[in-house]
Structure 1
Amino acid sequence: MEAPPDNDVLWARSLHYAHRGSPALAGVSVEVRAGEILAVTGPRGSGKTTLLRCLAGQLAPQSGEVWFNSAPVHTLGRMGRERLRRERFGWIDTEPHLVPELTGWENAALPLLLRGTGHRAAKRAALEWLERLDVGDCARRRPAKLLQAQRQRIAIARALASEPSVLFADEPSAPLHRADRSHVLRTLTTAARSHEITVVLATHDPEVASLADRTVALLDGRRAGGIPAPDAEGRAAACSLSV
């Protein structure tokens, strides 16, 4: 096996994966630099979610390689991949998937508590991110009492509170109303840059993709090419748009 370049925090080569015999990835290779925000774009069914799940260790590719910080992920067993996800990765899904028995702050603090962070420090970090995402008033309420947009913001706070090395976001603004998307995406990208979090963002929305440093397009499970994102001035202008 050939190790990836040192400046690539994530590196995948020739990934193949099929769902029930239907190809989802067919030889996809991708590299993600440390501190980069990479948008993976393409229509629904193009393989975006499958690629993110392979990179994040949720799925083991049927062939191909995935490396994180020059260490192979594709050779890890189930427990090793679970440990990697718990300690180094964050995930934001299209749906929030909160624990219904826990309050808002308890849901946001859960990854930190599972990692062994003290109760007080975990709660402080969770409350800070809930406030930054304008759902501080939801801290003591359970998911059943919240709106879908509030639940999604809590899920985003949960992913950011643990300050992962890599954050995977699969259409994170999909459940949000248009008026909410701009603020949430600005908070997400600003936090990633200020905390040096690498982000891999799946989206079919060109305006969301414009917030990234670089774009990789998928079509029918294959890489359709990379497109450089706007320069810093262009990204700043994009952040002011309501997406």
Structure 2
Amino acid sequence: MVVPPDNDVIWARSLHHSHRGSPALVGVSLGVREGEILAVHGARGSGKTTLLRCLSGQLVPQEGEVWFNSTPVHTMPPLRRERLRRDRFGWIDPEPTLVPELRAWENVALPLLLCGASHRSARRTALEWMDRLDVGAAADKRPRVLVRAEQQRVAVARALVTTPSVLFADEPTATLHSADRAHVLRTVAAAARSHRMTMVLATHDADVAALADRVIVLADGRRAGSPQAAEAEGRAACSLSV
């Protein structure tokens, strides 16, 4: 077993995983530093979602290692991995997955309530994040009456409400129109930087990848050292220098 570098919050070595015999990850290794925004760029089907699920402990790789703050995630028992995801990680899906019976603010506050926060404190923090995402006016509405963009903003606020150590975002704006996409991405990136969150962002969109500090490219489940990778990294560097 190789000890991960001290300055990497998330570190993975030689990850392999298959779905029904079809390789999804083939020997992927990476490290993510504290406070860094890392974009995992690649076409649909390149293995991005599988990689994020392995890094976040949702999925145990069939081969390889995943570490969080020098603690092996890949050998944790299921309940401990579940607590890790609840207490230290945030997750944004491409599609908003909200509890239909709860009001919007209750959906956002749910992670805080599960961690033992008081009702008043959880509501206050949830409303603060909803306001930052311009969805505060929908706080008392049920998900079914919200449009898709509002539902996704609520889901994003829920992922941010605990200010997690690591935020995993899997195509977080794929279903949004360009104006909504830009606002949500700016808010998420600003929150990550202001709160020193580490962020791993999966995207097939080079413009989204350009928001990151660093870009890696996946192709057919492997890290690609291709002109596409160099171009994406170059765009990210140009974006940061503006």
Q: Give the structure-2-normalised TM-score.
A: 0.95
1:234 and 2:235 aligned:
no
| Residue 236 of structure 1: how far off its partner (Å) | 6.5
Distance in 2 (CA, whole Å) between partners of 1:83 and 1:144 is 29
Mapping of residues 42-53 of structure 1, within 5 Å: 42-53=42-53
Distance in 2 (CA, whole Å) between partners of 1:115 and 1:204 is 33
Question: Residue in 2 aligned with 1:75?
Answer: 75
Alignment check: 8 A CA contact 1:213 1:229 kept: no
Distance in 2 (CA, whole Å) between partners of 1:122 and 1:62 is 38
Q: CA 1:63–1:74 in structure 2 vs 1: closer, same or farther (change >3 Å)?
A: same
| Residue 115 of structure 1: how far off its partner (Å) | 1.0
Alignment check: 8 A CA contact 1:57 1:85 kept: yes
Alignment check: 8 A CA contact 1:104 1:154 kept: yes
| Residue 231 of structure 1: how far off its partner (Å) | 6.9
Q: 1:34 is aligned with what amino acid?
A: E
Unaligned runs of 5+ in 1: 238-243
Distance in 2 (CA, whole Å) between partners of 1:229 and 1:191 is 23
Please give the root-mean-square deviation of Cα atoms over the aligned residues, in Å. Answer: 1.3
2:30 aligns to what SS in structure 1?
strand
Question: Residue in 1 aligned with 2:214?
Answer: 214
Which string of whole-angstrom CA distances, capped at 9 and with x for unpartnered residues, describes residues 77-121 of structure 1? Answer: 111110100000000000010000000000001111111111111
Unaligned runs of 5+ in 2: none
2:224 aligns to what SS in structure 1?
strand
Q: 1:135 is aligned with what amino acid?
A: V
The 4+ residue runs of structure 1 with deviation greater than 6 A are none
How many percent identity over aligned positions?
68
Distance in 1 (CA, whole Å) between partners of 2:234 and 2:159 is 24
1:31 aligns to what SS in structure 2?
strand
| Residue 234 of structure 1: how far off its partner (Å) | 2.6
Distance in 2 (CA, whole Å) between partners of 1:135 and 1:32 is 31
| Residue 53 of structure 1: how far off its partner (Å) | 0.2
| Residue 220 of structure 1: how far off its partner (Å) | 0.3
Mapping of residues 1-243 of structure 1, within 5 Å: 1-225=1-225, 227=230, 228=233, 234-235=239-240, 237=242
Q: 2:89 is aligned with what amino acid?
A: F
Q: Give the structure-1-normalised TM-score.
A: 0.95
1:46 aligns to what SS in structure 2?
coil
1:57 aligns to what SS in structure 2?
coil
Distance in 1 (CA, whole Å) between partners of 2:43 and 2:49 is 11
Q: CA 1:221–1:130 in structure 2 vs 1: closer, same or farther (change >3 Å)?
A: same
Q: CA 1:81–1:229 in structure 2 vs 1: closer, same or farther (change >3 Å)?
A: farther
Q: CA 1:138–1:160 in structure 2 vs 1: closer, same or farther (change >3 Å)?
A: same
| Residue 232 of structure 1: how far off its partner (Å) | 7.0
| Residue 175 of structure 1: how far off its partner (Å) | 1.3
Alignment check: 8 A CA contact 1:212 1:229 kept: no
Alignment check: 8 A CA contact 1:38 1:201 kept: yes
| Matched residues, number | 237
Distance in 1 (CA, whole Å) between partners of 2:46 and 2:124 is 39
